[in-house]
Structure 1
């Protein structure tokens, strides 16, 4: 038995704990998925290098029978090990005199002058100056002499037999200017290994002396048309792999049309053995190149195709490797010309090639301005990390809220409500409100003035009076629903002041039967039961309670009929009124308040309803209190007690049967008894006519007449008083133990969600229309703005215009939330006042069930359809930021309209205010009126306009980093970064995330 009891206790553990654990696990998977791109991004080069190293090892082993081991591959020593083993293998081949390739012989790798061939000084072959062929030196183009040691330029006679003192590197003529200095120095104004890096504007002017534009020398890192780089390899690992020398390199990149994004660029690179050049290892050419300015003002040149060629220095050692160089290459430089080069196949033998460079370019027209790029903009690592941190924080907060509510609800020991017989007594109830005036002080208006009375259980108590007499105000105060104005007096239930739990033992039926018309009568009562009946009641028990109430209110024949909407007729008015009462009877309340239940009903339906209320009061000893305007004689006869009000003053409080005689004694003289008999055909009409007579005196709480009338209502009990007092003591404890809400936060949340979604599915016209409009508009926009070019006009103009249209469409489309939320507001106020649910659970449920299907999914459909059709920037982050901006705009506009509808007295007022505010925000969104031209005293409207932020996000997301061809009429076009366009329209590129 102990084991069984423990198992039962274990099964009764709050399921929310397990749901929270499941939520944490799901979040962990999400974080892992977010961390995967980070790990992939950080380890991409390492993984690629390992793969390429293994491929290189296989090539070496297959072609040269060199045994490179796996651990040598992993240690990162493949370059030096491979080259050294190749050299050892080559030496053994050279000993027998077998050439590796026809006409090529292995060469000495140590830089001394001990000849390894029959040629003198090996023809300086290690410097790339010549090669030994059949015992004679075959010199390269710029060298001559028996051992190829003399630098010679056949194109310039003045360089005849010129000796170079800087590593044997030749000194070519630059732009037709001969080198007159016989020390291999570059001409004045030029520098670099190949003397092609300009140092001054004058040097550039000598190249084109007849240029019509001012020629300038640009020494920045950024390519305009054709940029030259002269670099020193700063990577210790690369220099170590290249026989412990300090290597050097030259690069050049050109974009002839100055279009940096369409893949028209061409680049090349030469890698040399020594810092002064010579010998040349290999040279590479790259095509289909693009240029991008990355965060930190780093220029990144990416080329899709690569091809490399070895020199005689490399001989056959690396030829097979270089044949594999075909894939993407990337060359990047910061503003200080700290550069790096990466190509996957080359990285397999020479990883992490970092360079310290100088650069120069002669510009014959002004280069485009390079605007700052926000570091936050494209830093995917930052985005992943911040998103991960945000998810963790959100998970912790949501989990904490989840557990708090779960533990709180677990501590509540829900028990089924026990019906309590209640007597409601109120004493000296007064209510004064302040009426605002345009001019002058506020005027205080008395709504109720010292009203007292007793409402016994098992009886009908009617609050009667003309319109404006204070009936509804008194009813609201007694039910705990009115808290406006200065309210004085005491309200007691079985002698105990009412508290928060009073709503659990009472019900309130409003004058208007506001319900969700798409639900059936049974569904309406079932959802009410799920919210108001105790948590520990099973669903079959709640459904049985619903069936019993339907039979009790004689609604079982229309149980499965829809309630009805203005567009679709449902049940009758009398049936709707009984359904409203049935919803309150589900919890078997001790006290029921009804505000003019016969209003809007015909005489027959009204009489039936009062008879039904009479039965409900007698069957379960319920205290039923209702307001009524001017009942018929038949209905008046059903009243047990009457409280008569006029202009907030009490005129009678007592038994209804004694009311006529009371006023006869107060007002009518014996000579007028005939007229009295006529009026008594309808006592209610007679009583109302009497109290409207100015000569009739209101009741004084201390007068004998009032005491007499009141005594008949609650003192004629005789011997039952002592029994009732003992019974009330028990009832006081029962009322004190009743909880404020019958269900937990999460139960309320899920019930409201299901009910709202069911309402959408039952009335799908608006949902279908919304989706159809957004899909159609997405297709139309994609067709009209198809594949926009990267130019000023129409590219920039149409890009900006399409974004403006989408923001405006989503903003004004949110007006549809006014009608939905305005009707729901009335239902919320009634159900919240009756204690159906918490405000927090209702709000969260509405966000999930209303905002997501109507304000989140439609803009996602719109943006997803037209984004790539229009030709916006590729890349998943750009696409995600664009969708986020649309969703935020839609939800913000919808939230604003909902807020307006909650404070507006009518739907028309809410509609007018919403449209006016949307037009103001549209005017100050930065498109119709430039931000720079807004007067200072109106600048706050720009900051207040949510459309300004909603438009700035996609504009910055699109134009920041986008190269645009500026092509104004009658002028020479030029390429520039999109930040210039952002500056023109006043958008701030640094506010992408803050917006």
Structure 2
């Protein structure tokens, strides 16, 4: 369904230029680990141009915080499911604060009072009305069943029924309009309830594409990286819980296989992150990659060191460095893969199910549970085996451990020794045509490919969203 018409601003035909308008969504999508001040300050650095100094941006953000009546909770974390924070009404005001930073002439609010009680709704809307009066800003709000006090704050009213305008004019004249057309408002009834009851429909909701003049590409990338690192540092479940679990897991592995040695009977094999338009997909992917790399390295290095030396693997800095680097790269691959799944499957639980299925598929075809030559050639070996990052991880770690070893005193016959290279080639069917460092380079290349694929999916899904909505509407 295509919409056609003229866009008029103050009676004149204009394009909505960059920074002219702002759109506040119904959902309060905020980082729970940030304080109110941090959330607004980081957004100011992203939205405001580089011609302003950081101090000027911070001062501007503080002024907006004061205008929205959030100065008393500026140092309080926003909060979420795990940690308690500010109230629902204050979260809504933080969302509005972020959009007010660029001083837009037009502000679109999608149900700003949704989920709020009448007192909180009035407090939020009165703040917005005050800013509109002081700054000369036009505020357009889609709102359902406002209280009488909230309704009286509006100057203009547009009532829609099935996409058609029933009334458009001064809010104070709406009662007279309905009365003149045979629908008088009963005494002691909220006028807005009466209007909605008469038209008996719901407001149409539409998408608004917001484009603003913003900071430079690198400024946004740096700010996003800093903000993501703060979020990761404070969110217990983000990486710290995984760090503790990894420590426990590798301690278990290290003690079970404590100092296994290098005899033939004990040969060992070792083997998971978009609407307001404040920044683009490229900046997000770069920032997420940079900020997560440090934490992924932390949860790889220390647990790996515990397991490596407890199990008695090959000593030597080169072997240990390769072991850690491979695990580090592997965790980045897992995270990249799960980001791709999250971009395709937005539902949290469905995303976990889908991601585990993909991981299981790659694991089963990595040549570990079933040797490469035993895999069915159609599909499972070509191409699944060769695109599985776990295949390269397994082979790289195997080469790192077995090459250079000689297994003696096997109990088969005197003087017969078996080299680690022989075991790799005939017992494990590891490809020996390239070194373990080539394997690591392939894994690093796959990290880049996964992130680029994630970026492409984000951009394609954004372009395809209107088309998908159109198909759903036709069905």
Q: Hey, what does 1:540 align to over in structure 2?
A: 55
Determine the C-alpha separation between the residues in 1 that align with 2:55 and 2:300.
41
Query: What SS does the aligned partner of 1:643 have?
Result: strand
Q: Is 1:984 aligned to 2:427, yes or no?
A: yes
Deviations 1:378-434 (A, max 9, x none): xxxxxxxxxxxxxxxxxxxxxxxxxxxxxxxxxxxxxxxxxxxxxxxxxxxxxx2xx
Determine the C-alpha separation between the residues in 2 that align with 1:560 and 1:589.
26
Contact 1:921–1:945, Cα closer than 8 Å, also in 2: yes
Determine the C-alpha separation between the residues in 2 that align with 1:774 and 1:571.
33
Q: Hey, what does 2:329 align to over in structure 1?
A: 888
Determine the C-alpha separation between the residues in 2 that align with 1:612 and 1:679.
29
Q: Hey, what does 2:387 align to over in structure 1?
A: 944
Query: What SS does the aligned partner of 1:678 have?
Result: coil
Deviations 1:948-979 (A, max 9, x none): 121111112222342234736x7667212223
Q: Is 1:686 aligned to 2:194, yes or no?
A: yes
Q: Is 1:648 aligned to 2:163, yes or no?
A: yes
* Equivalent of residue 275 in structure 2, options 830, 847, 858: 830
Q: Hey, what does 2:219 align to over in structure 1?
A: 747
**Equivalences for 1:87-486 in 2 at 5 Å?**
432=1, 486=2
Q: Is 1:491 aligned to 2:1, yes or no?
A: no
Deviations 1:251-276 (A, max 9, x none): xxxxxxxxxxxxxxxxxxxxxxxxxx
Deviations 1:800-859 (A, max 9, x none): 1xx0xxx3xxxxxx3xxxxxx3xxxxxxx234x2xx223222222211112321x22222
Q: Hey, what does 1:615 align to over in structure 2?
A: 130
Q: Hey, what does 1:599 align to over in structure 2?
A: 114
Deviations 1:738-758 (A, max 9, x none): x95331222222222222222
Greater relative CO, 1 or 2 (CA 8 Å, sep 6+)? 2
Q: Pick closer, same or farther for the CA change 1:868–1:614 going to 2, 3 Å.
A: closer
* Equivalent of residue 149 in structure 2, options 617, 628, 634: 634
Q: Is 1:561 aligned to 2:38, yes or no?
A: no
Contact 1:966–1:975, Cα closer than 8 Å, also in 2: yes
Query: What SS does the aligned partner of 1:864 have?
Result: helix
1:615 is displaced (CA, Å) by 1.8
Determine the C-alpha separation between the residues in 2 that align with 1:647 and 1:966.
86
1:658 is displaced (CA, Å) by 3.2
1:936 is displaced (CA, Å) by 2.0
Contact 2:48–2:213, Cα closer than 8 Å, also in 1: no
Query: What SS does the aligned partner of 2:115 have?
Result: coil
Q: Is 1:550 aligned to 2:72, yes or no?
A: no
Report how many residues are paired. 425
Contact 1:679–1:685, Cα closer than 8 Å, also in 2: no
Contact 2:47–2:212, Cα closer than 8 Å, also in 1: no
Determine the C-alpha separation between the residues in 2 that align with 1:505 and 1:487.
21
Q: Pick closer, same or farther for the CA change 1:907–1:960 going to 2, 3 Å.
A: same
Determine the C-alpha separation between the residues in 2 that align with 1:521 and 1:861.
34
Query: What SS does the aligned partner of 1:650 have?
Result: strand
1:897 is displaced (CA, Å) by 0.7
Larger radius of gyration, structure 1 or 2?
1
Q: Is 1:658 aligned to 2:173, yes or no?
A: yes
Q: Pick closer, same or farther for the CA change 1:569–1:980 going to 2, 3 Å.
A: same
1:989 is displaced (CA, Å) by 1.5
Determine the C-alpha separation between the residues in 2 that align with 1:569 and 1:790.
53
1:543 is displaced (CA, Å) by 2.9
1:908 is displaced (CA, Å) by 0.6
Q: Hey, what does 1:793 align to over in structure 2?
A: 265
TM (norm. structure 1) is 0.40
Q: Hey, what does 2:45 align to over in structure 1?
A: 530
Contact 2:167–2:174, Cα closer than 8 Å, also in 1: yes
Deviations 1:3-36 (A, max 9, x none): xxxxxxxxxxxxxxxxxxxxxxxxxxxxxxxxxx
Contact 1:963–1:976, Cα closer than 8 Å, also in 2: yes
* Equivalent of residue 578 in structure 1, options 93, 99, 104: 93
1:893 is displaced (CA, Å) by 0.8
Q: Hey, what does 2:25 align to over in structure 1?
A: 510
Q: Hey, what does 1:974 align to over in structure 2?
A: 416
Q: Hey, what does 2:365 align to over in structure 1?
A: 924
Determine the C-alpha separation between the residues in 2 that align with 1:789 and 1:664.
93
Q: Hey, what does 1:183 align to over in structure 2?
A: none
Query: What SS does the aligned partner of 1:947 have?
Result: helix
Determine the C-alpha separation between the residues in 2 that align with 1:636 and 1:874.
75
Q: Hey, what does 1:197 align to over in structure 2?
A: none
Contact 2:26–2:112, Cα closer than 8 Å, also in 1: yes
Q: Hey, what does 2:455 align to over in structure 1?
A: none
Q: Hey, what does 2:288 align to over in structure 1?
A: 846
Contact 1:680–1:686, Cα closer than 8 Å, also in 2: no
Structure 1 unaligned spans of 5+: 1-431, 433-485, 694-738, 808-813, 815-820, 822-828
RMSD of the alignment, in Å? 2.6
Determine the C-alpha separation between the residues in 1 that align with 2:308 and 2:189.
78
1:907 is displaced (CA, Å) by 0.4
Q: Pick closer, same or farther for the CA change 1:489–1:875 going to 2, 3 Å.
A: farther
Contact 2:367–2:391, Cα closer than 8 Å, also in 1: yes
1:765 is displaced (CA, Å) by 5.9
Q: Is 1:955 aligned to 2:398, yes or no?
A: yes
Q: Pick closer, same or farther for the CA change 1:493–1:949 going to 2, 3 Å.
A: farther
1:868 is displaced (CA, Å) by 4.0
1:926 is displaced (CA, Å) by 1.4
Determine the C-alpha separation between the residues in 1 that align with 2:158 and 2:414.
92
Q: Pick closer, same or farther for the CA change 1:892–1:677 going to 2, 3 Å.
A: closer
Query: What SS does the aligned partner of 2:356 have?
Result: helix
Q: Hey, what does 2:451 align to over in structure 1?
A: none
Deviations 1:789-809 (A, max 9, x none): 333211x1xx21xx0xxx3xx
1:906 is displaced (CA, Å) by 1.0
1:665 is displaced (CA, Å) by 4.1
Determine the C-alpha separation between the residues in 1 that align with 2:356 and 2:291.
25
Q: Pick closer, same or farther for the CA change 1:972–1:679 going to 2, 3 Å.
A: farther
Contact 1:633–1:681, Cα closer than 8 Å, also in 2: no
Q: Pick closer, same or farther for the CA change 1:649–1:974 going to 2, 3 Å.
A: farther
Determine the C-alpha separation between the residues in 1 that align with 2:123 and 2:315.
71
Larger helix proportion of the pair: 2
Q: Hey, what does 2:229 align to over in structure 1?
A: 757
Deviations 1:342-372 (A, max 9, x none): xxxxxxxxxxxxxxxxxxxxxxxxxxxxxxx
Determine the C-alpha separation between the residues in 2 that align with 1:688 and 1:765.
44
* Equivalent of residue 241 in structure 2, options 769, 782, 785: 769
Deviations 1:436-460 (A, max 9, x none): xxxxxxxxxxxxxxxxxxxxxxxxx
1:766 is displaced (CA, Å) by 4.8
1:607 is displaced (CA, Å) by 2.0
Q: Hey, what does 1:278 align to over in structure 2?
A: none
